[in-house]
Structure 1
Amino acid sequence: MNKFALLCAASTAFVSAPALAQAGPYEIGENTTLDPIIEGTLRYESVSQPDTAADDADALTFRIRSGAEFKTGGLFLLAEAEATLAIIDDYNDTIPGNGVEPYSVVADPDNIELNRLAIGYSAKGTTVTLGRQAINLDDQRFVGAVAWRQNEQTFDAARVQTKIGPVSLDGTYSFSQRTIFGVDSPNEHFDGNIYLVNGGFDLSSVKVKAFAYLIDYDTRLAYSSQTYGVRAAGAVPLGGSTKLNYVLSYAKQSDYGDNPIDYSADYIGAEAGLGFGAFGIKGGYELLGSDDGVAAFQTPLATLHKFNGFADLFLSTPANGLQDYYGGASYKIGDMGPLKGLAAGVTYHKFESDEGGMNYGDEIDATLAFKVGKVGLLAKYANYNAKEWATDTEKFWFQASFSY
C-alpha cells in the first residue's frame, strides 16, 4: 500500500469511527455472537537529541488492527491482524536502532503481522486461552502488552485464569515473546521457556498479590532471570471526595537458565497519591537494584514506557541500577464544548544509580487528553536532562485513536 492510499484509508477510518462505535457484538445464533474488532491510531512523534550525531526524528505512523471474536457458549475464538505503516518516515526504525538511518529512534517500524490468534473456553470463573495473546499482569511493571507502541507485544502461550470469591490465580506458559520490533527485525521474537504465575486476594480495601516470573531465553541469555515478589494496592477513603491511593511492591531477581552472569538484585516500588475530586497528586520511589555494578534488575516483558519517564532512556536498566524519585499532579477538567473528558497531568522524575553514586539526570513529562466525538486525542511531552547517563532528549507526540 502506498502512502497516498494509506492517508485515504486513515481518513476514511477516522470519519467512519463514530458510526462504527455505536455497534456491538452481533447475535448470529442462539447463545452465539460475533464481535468485530477495528482499532486505529494515527500518531506524530518527534525526537530531538542535540548532543548526538543523529538528526532530529519526525514520524507520522498509522496503525490499524482488525479482526473478530466468535463466541458460542463458553467457547471463544479470536483472530486479529495488525498493520503499521509510516506516512512520514524521517526516523530510525532499524530496531533496536543501529544507526543505519541518520535519525533518532522511533520504535514504530513498518509492520504487517498476525497480532493475536487464540482459542479458549470460559466457565464458572475460569478461563483457559491457547494461542497468540496479549497478557497484562497488574500494572504491567513486569508483564505487559506495550500498548503505547504501534506494534503490540503478544505471547504464544497457554494461560489459565481462575477466580473463586476473593481469590484469583493466573498462570501462563509461553514459548515465544512476540516483540514490538516488527517482522523485519532480528528481534521480532524471543523464544524460550517463560513461566508466569500470579495470584492473591482481592478484598474491599486492598488487593494483595504474590508472583513468580521465570524467563529462560534460548538467546538473549543475559536477560534470563527468576523473579519472585509481592504487591499490595488499595485506596483509603479520607472523607468527602478525598481518598488515599497506594501501591507497595517488593521483588527479588536472580539469574536463571543459561544466563552467564551470576547475580541477585532487589526491586522496590512505593507510590502514594491523594485524590480530591477531580484533582490528584502522587509521589513515589522505584528501585531497580544492582549487584555491585555487575548486573541489574531487568524487566524484559514489561510495558516499559509506563515507567521511568516517557523519554524511554531506561528501557534496559543500567548495570549500576536505577533509583527513580518522582512526583506529579493531575486534573480532570471535564467537558469544554466539543472537547469531552479533558484531563491534564504533569510528572517530574529524578534519576540516580543504585551503585556508584551516579546522578543520571531528571525528566519532566506532561499529558493532555480529550475526546472529540468517538475519537480520542492525546498530546504528550517529555524532556530528559542528562547528567551521567544517556543524552539530553526531547520528545513530543500527538495522536488520534478510535476503537470499535
Structure 2
Amino acid sequence: MRYLLGTAAALAVAGPACAQDLEVRPLAEVRLRNEHVEQDGLPREADAVTARIRTGVEIASGRWSATVQGQGTLALVDHYDDGLHGPADRPQVSDPQNIGLYVAQLQYRTTGAVLTAGRQKIALEDERFVGNAGIRDNAQTYDAVRAQLSPVAGLRLDISYAWSVRTIWGIDGRGARQQAIGGDNVFANLSYATPIGTFSGFAYLVDQDEAAVQGYRLSSRTYGARLSGSRAFSPAVKLDYVASYARQWDHHRNPNDYHADYWLADATLDVRGWKLNAGYEVLGAGDGTPFTSFQTPLGSNFKFQGWTDKFLTTPANGIRDLYFGAGYGVKQVGPLTGVAFQAVWHRLDSDRLNQHYGNEVDLLASAKLRKTLVSLRYAHYDAREFATDTDKYWIQLDWTY
C-alpha cells in the first residue's frame, strides 16, 4: 500500500509534464522452460515444464517515465516440488504457479541523476548481495525508492531504501517462503572509476523482519569494498579482474551475535573469443551455529557455487569455492547470433572443520535466433560431505519484444 500511495502522489506531481509528448512502449516477454532433476535420496525425478509471460507498458514524457508490468507463471507439467505444494518425493524446482504485479514504478531522469519509486528491479554489481534472481520465473523485485547519482565524472552513488522484498514464491508464499518480506532495508554503493578499475565501497543493511523467516536470523549488516577492472594487452587479448572483501554482522532483531568475512578474487583472460576464468570465493563461518556464517538472502545466488542450488543458504561452517572455467563465443553462426559455450568446475569446501562438501560441473550453450534466446544447461553435483548427488538439465527459450 505504501508504494502505491507514493507512486500515485509522484504521478500527481508529474502530471503537467506527462500531459504532453507521451511516448508509449509496450513490454512483452515470454519464457518456456523444461527443468529436469535427478537427486539421490528421492524416489522420483522432477520434471517442470513452465511458461512465464510478462506484459506491460512504459509511458514516458521528457524526463519522466512510468512502468507497469504484470507476470504470470503456469506449470504445463507439474511433476516437481515447487517449494510450496510438494510432492515431497520429487526434487524441488522453485517455480510455483503465480500471477502478480512485477514492476510498478515511476522514474525521473536528468543529467547526473536517476530517481525511481515503486516496485522495481534492483541488481547491484554482480548481484552477489542484492539482485533480481532472474533465473527463477517469479524473479525478485523490491518496493523501494532509489537514487542513482553521478555528481562528477567517474563518481557514482547508488542508494536505495526498500520496505518490502517481493520474493520468488509468488501469491501462495507462506511461512519461511513468504510472498513478501517486510523490513527496513538500505543498500548503499559509492564507486569511483580510475585507470586501474572501479573502486567501490558498499553498505547493505538487510532487514528480514518476519519471525517466520528463520526467526529473523537472516537480518545482517554488511560493509565492504570491491575493485573491478580490465586491461587490454592487444586488440585481441584482454584481462578482466575482480577483488572484493566484506564483513557481516547481525542486525536488528537477529538473535545471533556474530560476524563473518567474505573474500573474492576472480580473473578472466579473453583471447580472440576464448575465455579462461579462475576464482576463489569465501563466505566465512562464525562459530558454527546455523546462520552465523556469511549470508546473502537477497543475492541472485544461482549464479554462485554452482547451478544445483545446494548452497543458496550458506552452511553453518561457511563455504570456500575454488573454481575454474572456460568458454568460447562467436558473434554469428548462420542465422544464430551471440553463440556461446561455457564450462565451470567448482571445488566446494567448508570454511571451518576442513570438510570437503563436494564438486560441481556446470555446462552452458546458448544462442539467439532473432528475438529468441535458446539456452541449454547441465549441472552435476558430486556430493562428498554435504547434500546428495544431483543432476539437472534445462532447455529454455526466452523471447523479448
Indicate the residue corresponding to 1:212 in structure 2: 203
Counterpart AA for 1:259: N
Indicate the residue corresponding to 1:315 in structure 2: 312
Indicate the residue corresponding to 1:88 in structure 2: 77
1:281 is displaced (CA, Å) by 0.2
Counterparts of 2:330 and 2:116, CA distance in 1: 40
Indicate the residue corresponding to 2:53 in structure 1: 64
Counterparts of 1:172 and 1:373, CA distance in 2: 36
1:100 is displaced (CA, Å) by 4.1
1:247 is displaced (CA, Å) by 0.4
Indicate the residue corresponding to 1:141 in structure 2: 128
Counterparts of 1:202 and 1:188, CA distance in 2: 38
Counterparts of 1:312 and 1:100, CA distance in 2: 19
Counterparts of 1:57 and 1:229, CA distance in 2: 39
Secondary structure at 2:314 match in 1: coil
Counterparts of 1:152 and 1:170, CA distance in 2: 21
Within the candidate set 160, 170, 174, 1:182 is matched to 170
Q: Is the 8 A contact 2:108 2:115 kept in 1?
A: yes
Within the candidate set 194, 202, 225, 2:193 is matched to 202
Instruction: Say whether residues 1:245 and 2:235 are aligned partners.
Output: no
Q: Is the 8 A contact 1:64 1:82 kept in 2?
A: yes
Instruction: Say whether residues 1:291 and 2:281 are aligned partners.
Output: no
Indicate the residue corresponding to 2:99 in structure 1: 112
1:163 is displaced (CA, Å) by 1.1
Counterpart AA for 1:231: R
1:240 is displaced (CA, Å) by 3.8
Superimposed CA distance per residue, residues 154-195 of structure 1 (whole angstroms, 9 cap, x where no aligned partner): 001111111131100011111111001111011111111101
Counterparts of 2:195 and 2:124, CA distance in 1: 20
Counterparts of 1:333 and 1:217, CA distance in 2: 43
1:207 is displaced (CA, Å) by 1.0
Within the candidate set 31, 51, 56, 1:41 is matched to 31
Counterparts of 2:97 and 2:194, CA distance in 1: 44
Q: Is the 8 A contact 2:294 2:314 kept in 1?
A: yes
Counterpart AA for 1:248: A
Counterparts of 1:367 and 1:65, CA distance in 2: 25
Counterpart AA for 2:155: V
Counterpart AA for 1:331: Y
Q: Is the 8 A contact 2:141 2:167 kept in 1?
A: yes
Within the candidate set 148, 156, 160, 2:147 is matched to 160
1:101 is displaced (CA, Å) by 3.9
Which deviates more from structure 2 when the two are superposed, residues 245-254 or residues 335-344?
Answer: 335-344
| Stretches of structure 1 lacking an aligned partner (at least 5 in a row) | 1-27
Instruction: Say whether residues 1:401 and 2:398 are aligned partners.
Output: yes
Counterparts of 2:107 and 2:48, CA distance in 1: 38
Superimposed CA distance per residue, residues 356-394 of structure 1 (whole angstroms, 9 cap, x where no aligned partner): 110100000000001222211000000000011011010
1:205 is displaced (CA, Å) by 4.1
Q: Do the aligned partners of residues 289 and 106 (structure 1) sit closer, same or farther apart at CA in structure 2, a change above 3 Å counting?
A: same
Counterparts of 1:245 and 1:302, CA distance in 2: 22
Counterpart AA for 1:335: Q
Which deviates more from structure 2 when the two are superposed, residues 40-49 or residues 158-167?
Answer: 158-167
Counterparts of 1:129 and 1:401, CA distance in 2: 27
User: Number of paired residues?
Assistant: 374
Q: Is the 8 A contact 2:186 2:206 kept in 1?
A: yes
Indicate the residue corresponding to 2:11 in structure 1: none
Indicate the residue corresponding to 1:55 in structure 2: 44
1:197 is displaced (CA, Å) by 0.5
Q: Is the 8 A contact 1:146 1:153 kept in 2?
A: yes
Q: Is the 8 A contact 2:73 2:98 kept in 1?
A: yes
Q: Do the aligned partners of residues 29 and 331 (structure 1) sit closer, same or farther apart at CA in structure 2, a change above 3 Å counting?
A: farther
Counterparts of 1:279 and 1:53, CA distance in 2: 39
| Stretches of structure 2 lacking an aligned partner (at least 5 in a row) | 1-17
1:343 is displaced (CA, Å) by 1.0
Counterpart AA for 2:218: Y
Which deviates more from structure 2 when the two are superposed, residues 157-166 or residues 320-329?
Answer: 157-166
1:46 is displaced (CA, Å) by 0.3
Q: Is the 8 A contact 2:80 2:87 kept in 1?
A: no
Indicate the residue corresponding to 2:119 in structure 1: 132
Indicate the residue corresponding to 2:12 in structure 1: none
Secondary structure at 1:252 match in 2: strand
Superimposed CA distance per residue, residues 57-114 of structure 1 (whole angstroms, 9 cap, x where no aligned partner): 001101011001111111111100010101111010133x8x5443110011100000
Which deviates more from structure 2 when the two are superposed, residues 115-124 or residues 152-161?
Answer: 115-124
Counterpart AA for 1:104: P
Secondary structure at 2:104 match in 1: strand
Counterpart AA for 2:246: A
Superimposed CA distance per residue, residues 271-306 of structure 1 (whole angstroms, 9 cap, x where no aligned partner): 011110110101000000001212200000100111
1:402 is displaced (CA, Å) by 1.0
Counterparts of 2:281 and 2:254, CA distance in 1: 25
Counterpart AA for 1:274: L
Counterparts of 1:100 and 1:258, CA distance in 2: 34
Counterparts of 1:128 and 1:341, CA distance in 2: 33
Secondary structure at 2:150 match in 1: strand
Q: Is the 8 A contact 1:94 1:185 kept in 2?
A: no
Counterpart AA for 1:261: N
RMSD: 1.4
Secondary structure at 1:183 match in 2: helix
